[in-house]
Amino acid sequence: MFCYKKHFFAYIYKDYKGKKLPYLAFNKGNQLEHPILASGGRKLIQVVTFHPEHDLPAKQITKIMEMAIRLVEKD
């Protein structure tokens, strides 16, 4: 779980249904806009799924984390 200024904004989890891939989920993801984010049927959270055979999209994840931190700072 990732927190910023005592506010929860993201967590890492593994999908135990479906493809069983790990993902990084963002709280208030419905307020984030980025092409690699997917809602996966969730209303408030969007996720970035990690494929074990590919490199992590570090620059894109950093950008999304910065966007999520800005959302926390607004509250």
Is the pLDDT reported for residue 24 higher than 80? yes
64, 26 in Cβ contact below 8 A?
yes
Delimit the domains of the chain by residue range: 2-74
- The rounded percent of the chain whose pLDDT value lies above 90 is 55
Dist CA 24 CA 30 (whole Å): 14
Contacts of 23 (CB under 8 A, 6+ apart): 12, 13, 14, 15, 47, 48, 49, 50
Q: What angle do CA 2, 70, 21 make, to 5 degrees?
A: 40
Dist CA 63 CA 15 (whole Å): 23
Average pLDDT on 25-37 reads: 92
pTM above 0.85, yes or no: no
What is the C-alpha radius of gyration for the chain, rounded to an integer number of angstroms? 12
